[in-house]
Amino acid sequence: MSERLDWILSASPETRNRVVAALNADERKELDWHWFMQAREPQLPPAGDWRIWLIMAGRGFGKTRAGAEWVRLIAEENCEARIALVSSSLTEARSVMVEGESGLLACCPPDRQPIFESSLRRVRFPNGAQAQLFSAAEPESLRGPQFSHAWCDEIGKWPLSHDRSTRAWDNLLMGLRLGSDPRTVVTTTPRAVPIVQRLIDGQKNESVVLTHGSTYDNAANLPRRFLEAINSEFGGTQLARQEIAGEMLTDLEGALWRRSTIEQARDPVHSDDLRRIVVGVDPPVSSSGDECGIVVAGIGQDGIGRVLADCSISHAKPHAWAERVATAAGEWNADRVVAEANQGGAMVESVLRAANAQLPIRLVHASRGKVARAEPVAALYEAGKVYHCGSFPALEDQMCGLLIGGEYAGPGRSPDRADALVWALTELMLGPRTNPSVRSI
């Protein structure tokens, strides 16, 4: 079969057209389901005796389709195939890998549709091949079952707490002992987490083949407005290099924050049980419109700090950034606005009062440099005491640009967003204790 596909793929367009013209109606309909005729070359399995094919590419590249089509190919060629489908959760395994727009069910032709037995978490193909769904959040579920093949989706976002991602991966590898040629496909957006770095390092012993790719590689199949939107929102940020260009970003030597630390602190759903919320503000130095850092953070009953929003604004006049602060405080029902007052404290308070006279404002004066102020806050992240409720690319780029020793090597002239974050978390977690306590009896 592979030799025939090689011949078709290497043939000239004229030859392909003649072959298609000679087909009858049923054959032409079947042609619509031939992935090898539609895929871009990076989406096709690489040649060679690889054990793991790692597709690390930007969003929208077509990673999921490539993974699903590979599973379909294995299942149709081997009736005894037992394939593990592993995602960060069972919900995502079902909604993306099986039932998604580019998932297994969408890839298979109507006359060879597999049956998804949701109660058994199993996909059963007409010829007897089977695929089983697993969650990386439950590493022990992969202990015991045996597989001939596996498809792991978005391994970069597998849960990190209690080393679950590594345990899930290790249990999967030990279960790949059926058949004569066990293989695994891993599809993921690059993220600075240990399991992804471990896979990249696997190239050294030639057991891992790596395919890189960008969102724009699949531009022909993506809406123009989507491409314009991501370029407008993320263009120029380091996150764009990761999420769009598919690059693995490395940490700067001596950086206060490591990207792996921030990834481990990612929590897309913020707690409703927040006992205090503040808005940190790093006002622009000049009145002509430098960036104003505005970051909303809260602390829960569990003592965990949560970064809720980055509302920073660039090239804004004083009344504009003050209104943005007032809006953020109102939307989040903030208990306090903490603003740096080193650069014209009276002016800072007056413009904020003009935006909203009722704002609970506290002016703070910086006696140390930005990096020195940030070090205790960075330590909170290392201790697992701060979560990011979502993704804040511009803020996180600045955080990772703050270096021990006082230098800043991130984007822009100054880490204004990171400084606003520091003010907010310092107020919440490093200021005087406000909770009553019994010191002696």
User: Taking 90 as the threshold, does the pLDDT of residue 350 lie above it?
Assistant: no
Mean pLDDT to the nearest integer, 324-342: 92
pLDDT single digits (tens) 352-388 = 888 887 888 899 887 778 888 899 999 999 999 999 9
State mean pLDDT over 337-346: 76
A 10 A CB-CB count for 436 gives 5
Across 199-203, 224-228, 266-270, 424-428, least confident range: 266-270
Q: 0.75 exceeded by the pTM? A: no
Residue matched to tokens 């060879």: 112
- Residue 298 main-chain phi, psi, to 5 deg: -140, 170
Q: How confident is the model at residue 351 (pLDDT cuts 50, 70, 90)?
A: confident
Range 15-25 average pLDDT? 71
Please, how many CA atoms are within 13 Å of residue 324, restricted to the half-sphere of its CB? Answer: 22
Q: At residue 282, does pLDDT exceed 80?
A: yes
User: Is 43's pLDDT higher than 80?
Assistant: yes
pLDDT for residue 244: 86
How far apart are the C-alpha atoms of 359 and 365, rounded to whole Å? Answer: 19
Q: What would the two tokens of residue 45 be? A: 């399995």
Helical ranges in 122-236 per DSSP H: 164-175, 194-201, 224-234
Residue 128, exposed/middle/buried by CB under 10 A (0-12, 13-18, 19+)?
Answer: exposed
Among 8-22, 255-269, 394-408, the least confident range: 8-22
Domains of the chain: 33-234 (3.40.50.300), 259-430 (3.30.420.280)
Give the model's confidence band at 237: pLDDT under 50 very low, under 70 low, under 90 confident, else very high: confident
Q: Which of 92-101, 217-226, 238-247 ranks highest by mean pLDDT?
A: 92-101
27 pLDDT exceeds 70?
Answer: no
Span 417-421, mean pLDDT? Answer: 95
69-106 exposure pattern, b = at least 16 Cβ within 10 A, e = fewer:
bbbbbbbbebeebbbbbbbbbbebbbebbbebebbbbe
Average pLDDT (313-320) is 89
Could you give the percent of the chain with pLDDT greater than 90?
Answer: 53
What's the whole-number average pLDDT of the chain? 87
Q: What integer pLDDT is reported at residue 411 of this predicted model?
A: 77
More confident residue, 397 or 418: 418
pLDDT > 70 fraction of the chain, expressed in percent and rounded: 89
